[in-house]
Amino acid sequence: MKALLSAAVLAGFVILPGAYAAENGPQDECLNPGSNALLKDGCAALDQFMKTFNSRDGKAWAASLNFPHSRIAGNNELQVWETPEEYAKSNDVAELAKAKNWDHTDWTTRKLVQQGDEKLHFVTQFTRFDKDNKPIGTYDSLYIVTKKDGKWGTQFRSSFVGIVGKKTAF
């Protein structure tokens, strides 16, 4: 445990999503980014991620990402997709809808906790809803948004939600 904590501190992840939300309550900096250009760029990338996820279009969703794209799910399994084509092929969002009665997902919290010219760390929280707009679950997560070849996109995420299907990103 000590080694894991040391690694987290070395990586700069000293603020945990659940701890942040518990101390400060839900908030979404993306609703009022002010004059921070990097925050605006990161929020636009996260908005595109969520818009394309909710569209159920795997190719559009993959286009919102940067690659290789990695995810650590609630069961601590590391998933890596090398290309947009591989990602789109393994992510039919209809599978989530069928398995969990899912209709859409919304951001609850997005807080920029670290920033650099080409990499942003966001502590986030999202809620999944059914077709009656009733919450299915709310999950804390960490999203790393990067700028590659002039494009901002989500490149890494870690959440406390499980995996619905083999190699799926939800």
Express each pLDDT in 118-156 by its tens digit: 999 999 999 999 999 999 999 999 999 999 999 999 999
Asked if residue 170 belongs to a domain, the reply is: no
Q: What is the pLDDT of residues 23-38, one digit of tens each?
A: 555 589 999 999 999 9
* Exposure string over 77-105, b if 16+ CB within 10 A, otherwise e: eebebeebebbbebbebeebbeebebbbb
How many structural domains does the chain have? 1
* Full-model pTM: 0.80
In residues, how long is the chain?
170
Q: What is the CATH number of the domain that holds 44?
A: 3.10.450.50
- Residue 114 sits in which domain range? 37-159
Asked if residue 5 belongs to a domain, the reply is: no
